[in-house]
Structure 1
């Protein structure tokens, strides 16, 4: 496929941190994707929470199935926009590698643990942790830590980053993956954008979780189809489905409604993005960085998507049953952190060996609290629960 002039071309990539010869049959972005798929962190995603914990049901989304859905949506849109599909897929598959067990509950608990232990700590950011995974924590190659991915993939993985952490990264990697968060000119801060492929992976993430959280919410019984009648983005396509399929009920009605909703959002992104790109007329990838985000919904769809997110926040993520599980998950993470800090010998020796203070890329050094955070962040839900039961002598989750 011919790429658009503003797409990322692997032949003009900004390269890897450790130079390598080109592969004979794959582009650099294809190699990135393949390295991610074969990584240990990627395999762990199958047992990491999206909304519902792994033990709560076999059919709920996990971080792995979510990442696959993001990749599918991203590739479909990228092909029409003539963006680099392989790069979009690589970013999509890697974007959650740094997530803790127990989803956002685990992330919040680990962030609080770090800041409580050391008020000067930069805390925990899962996007930054994903970058740490691919840059430092994976151990697969003889010559370097990490997966040695291209700049473009790493830039897309670092979707968000605090200015404090961005400055640390920029000090080690000038004009690197964090530069857009700290860029300045004579007038002050100048926020830049990542590639269109990174922007697309970000929006595909939003589209995917909005849709599958409806599915999982209804499957769990915490959401009802009648509740969703108040959500314009859902109710419109439910009416269309019922008109086209009189008498359709149950799971088939839900699936077809979500399918139509997804298709509408995909086509909306394509049309809105093509319009934004025509108006901005970026000549190349570097020009993309100087514009506001160009991968987008139109105004109406953006409003409807935001309304759906608010609905899910109030009715699913803050549902008493989810909150109860969330509090238990936070307790597990807090207890693990305190236990390992008090007795590091409870961790595998390979992690204890990192207490020697040797600096790691994109980190403040191998301080004990950061090593402990890395270890906990890499756990799956079930391993964290088993470790907690081993160390505490009790289980906080129902059998």
Structure 2
């Protein structure tokens, strides 16, 4: 949702209008990428996108490409951080099969490189399957226009076998990584920082930088949300210290 606000309203690059003046299909791809419940909060704008028609092929591709990237990078991050172990991941069929192949092919390879090679092969397998199944779906549906794509069942998809394997990986990450107690602690800290910043800016808009303060004259809560949403993790932590830490300015 915030990404759509950025490209529609918040970017200020052109003299005649705010936003980037992107085409409908690009904006639809951004919105279709989030859940229907969240997108519905956009009201009339969201209703234009959230009809019963499928998103464009580009949006379908972007959605699953992101999923492949996020899941596999989270595997790598989880192992590197020590939150996951190879023994745990050996329970996941997709990872276990590639891990066995890598170890058989390179018995003396350092563990870190074993992990990189295993994740690389997982990504390649998922992408190859996605391309093959999607080509088959498109040949079967034979859409002749954008309207045909929107009326068809999902055309960009994994094969049933790979869909099940990918779901197993996602379920593993959800239970072993995303709900790991250390991750939950970090999430709690992040929520606290965001809540503290939002409350502070709402109670005293003078704490906002001048550019955000001008917008806050009419829609304070929305302006504060836009300002916080534009922060990186590091900037949000630093801003929190500046406001709440006695020794910071």
TM (norm. structure 2) is 0.93
Unaligned runs of 5+ in 1: 1-127, 171-177, 184-190, 358-366
CA–CA distance in structure 2, aligned partners of residues 222 and 325 of structure 1:
13
> Please, which of 354, 365, 369 is the counterpart of residue 221 of structure 2?
369
Residue 215 in 1 paired to residue 215 in 2? no
Q: 1:101-180 alignment to 2 at 5 Å? A: 128-158=1-31, 159-160=33-34, 161-162=36-37, 164-169=40-45, 178-180=47-49
CA–CA distance in structure 2, aligned partners of residues 217 and 394 of structure 1:
35
Deviation at 1:319, TM superposition (A): 1.1
Superposed CA offset, 1:254-287 (max 9, x none): 1111111111111100111011111111111121
Deviation at 1:394, TM superposition (A): 6.6
Task: Report which of the two has the higher share of helix.
Answer: 2
Deviation at 1:141, TM superposition (A): 1.3
Deviation at 1:347, TM superposition (A): 0.5
Q: 1:174-323 alignment to 2 at 5 Å? A: 178-181=47-50, 183=51, 191-323=52-184
CA–CA distance in structure 1, aligned partners of residues 208 and 141 of structure 2:
52
- Residue in structure 2 matched with residue 387 of structure 1 by the alignment: 239
Q: Secondary structure at the match of 2:90?
A: helix
Aligned residues: 244
- Residue in structure 2 matched with residue 363 of structure 1 by the alignment: none
Deviation at 1:324, TM superposition (A): 1.2
- Residue in structure 1 matched with residue 204 of structure 2 by the alignment: 343
- Residue in structure 2 matched with residue 20 of structure 1 by the alignment: none
CA–CA distance in structure 2, aligned partners of residues 372 and 256 of structure 1:
44
Structure 1 stretches of 4+ moved >2 Å: 160-168, 246-249
Q: Secondary structure at the match of 2:158?
A: coil
Deviation at 1:164, TM superposition (A): 3.6
Larger relative CO (CA 8 A, sep 6+): 1 or 2?
A: 1
Superposed CA offset, 1:304-342 (max 9, x none): 111111111111111111111111111000000000000
TM (norm. structure 1) is 0.59
Deviation at 1:249, TM superposition (A): 3.4
Superposed CA offset, 1:108-127 (max 9, x none): xxxxxxxxxxxxxxxxxxxx
Unaligned runs of 5+ in 2: none
CA contact (8 A) 2:205 2:216 kept: no
Deviation at 1:179, TM superposition (A): 2.3
CA–CA distance in structure 1, aligned partners of residues 217 and 146 of structure 2:
41
Deviation at 1:345, TM superposition (A): 0.8
Deviation at 1:155, TM superposition (A): 1.1
